[in-house]
Amino acid sequence: MSEPKVFLLPDLGEGLTEAELVNWLVSVGDEIRVDQPIAEVETAKSVVEVPSPYAGTVTQLHGEPGQTLDVGKPLISVLPVGATAPAPVVETVETKPAETGAADTYREEEKAGSGNVLIGYGTPGGSGAARRTRAPRAVVSASSTDDKPVVAPDAQKAADDLLLLRTRVPGKLGAVISPLVRRMAREHGVDLGDIHGSGDSGLIMRKDVEAVIHPAVEVSAGSTTERPVVEPVETQWAVDSRTGLGISSRTPVKGVRKVVSANMSRSRSEIPEATVWVDVDATALVELRAGLKKSDPHNTPGLLAFIARFVTAGLKRFPDLNTRIETAADGSQEIVGFAGINLGFAAQTDRGLMVPSIRNADKLSARELDVEIRRLTAVVRDGKATPEELGSGTFTLNNYGVFGVDGSAAIINHPEVAILGVGRIIDKPWAVEGELAVRKVTELTLTFDHRVCDGGTAAGFLRFVADAIERPTSILADI
């Protein structure tokens, strides 16, 4: 008889301490192999598939979608191939009359089978692994032939399981997933059993509970009778004491937004930043690309790829901007330089702002940079970027011109020491050889860490990139 092996959530890179469980890829009772993906977790701005280090039968899933798990805590339990499952443990639970019905309903659902898997429970008919009905330690009595007490589960975990039973919709196992939805229903006295979920397979969503808490009404003309309306309206939970306004929503800061918030706050608190900017005549670069596109419509780099090439060339001449500051335990600091450039670039996605980095970008041509920019943009928008692709940059290029703005004092992507922003390219009046002309003009903005260099270095780098944009043909011939 063998005990299941417990796989702990590993550090998925960059010293992460937690991850949000997005989706299970296996169920209790499934036979899995070594390195088979078992779950998707969101961490460091990406959705990562976690592989199993064990082969065997899944006996327990230690979490549910939407839950934040700490690194080093149990993720999944697997009974090794060929091992014998432990004998079932009989635990007597003294339930209150009001709780017995819910527990019985749950057991009937378990016998019936379901594709949805809960913590510690699974679809019957799989591996035959032992299942246990958990209850608070105080109400579990010993039941064994040798009179040795049965070790009860952790009290808090048992309480969570009872909460699941109480909020489970009869006949719809797994119809309530989000802890936020269950808490909202509990706080407002909403019976989840009376709600038909609007999500997939009857999944009860937050908006379903809010609709019960604040039902919309419509008063017909000439009548005082109120009746429900079909069209959804904005709901309010409470009135804010400071502003006197109704609170329309509460959004937990987690996942991507949590990572961005922590990183930006650290950048502002630790880095004494300064900003320099310059307007640039980009007409020659726009015309160069237009000419290349005529001769090769399908293999012409985008403008951002050309600017990225100018940036890597500029960083070679001004390497202070391609560094990082490290602080030792005794408070001493070092400026760490790199033998290469990993160029990060900001990409907007449905899950927030991502900054993937092109590794060894200084060794790539404009065409090769364009290929990597397109590839990494697609990867992050699909949520499949690795921690290495998202956390290895040494300098960031931010094209905020795509949002239709001219300039921005960007926040440095910690632990880097500088970020270059590019505004939109628009027609503006410009003096050319003493004559006023309409030119394609953009604004470059460089925000830098004043601890690693002074304004002269920052201005020199910015002027180099600006000159390259204004005279791309001659610069490309030299880099």
Strand partners, 79: 57
Q: What are the C-alpha distances in Å from 149 to residues 120, 132, 140, 157, 161?
A: 21, 16, 9, 19, 21
DSSP symbols for 32-89: E-TT-EEEEEEETTEEEEEEPS--EEEEEE---TT-EEETTSEEEEEEETTPPPPPPP
Say how many C-beta atoms besides its own lie within 10 A of residue 253's C-beta.
10
Torsion angle defined by CA atoms of residues 176, 178, 180 and 185, in that order, rounded to the nearest 10 degrees: 0
CB burial class (10 A; 0-12, 13-18, 19+) of residue 204?
buried
The residue annotated as part of the active site, out of 62, 188, 196, 450, is 450
Give 67's Cβ-side CA count (13 Å radius). Answer: 19
- CB 366 within 8 Å of CB 304: no
Q: Which long-range contacts (CB under 8 A, 24 or more apart) does 191-195 make?
A: 192/167, 192/168, 193/169, 195/169
Q: Find where tokens 């391609």 sit.
A: 322
Please report how many Cα atoms fall inside a 13 Å half-sphere around the Cα of residue 456, on the Cβ side: 0
188 among known catalytic residues: no
Instruction: Report CA dihedral (359, 360, 365, 366) to the nearest 10 degrees.
Output: 40
Both tokens of 413, joined, read 């992507």
The tokens of 406 are what?
Answer: 């001219």
SS3 content of the chain, % helix, strand, coil (to 5): 30, 25, 45
Interhelix angle 179-187/206-213, nearest 10 degrees = 10
Residue given tokens 């959804």 in the structure block: 232
Asked whether the beta carbons of 380 and 46 are under 8 A apart, the reply is yes
Q: Mark out the alpha helices in 197-328 (DSSP H runs).
A: 206-213, 255-270, 283-295, 303-317
| Closest among 365, 368, 367, 397 to 293, alpha carbons compared | 367
Strand ranges for 364-434 from DSSP E: 395-399, 418-422, 426-432
Please identify every residue annotated as catalytic. 450
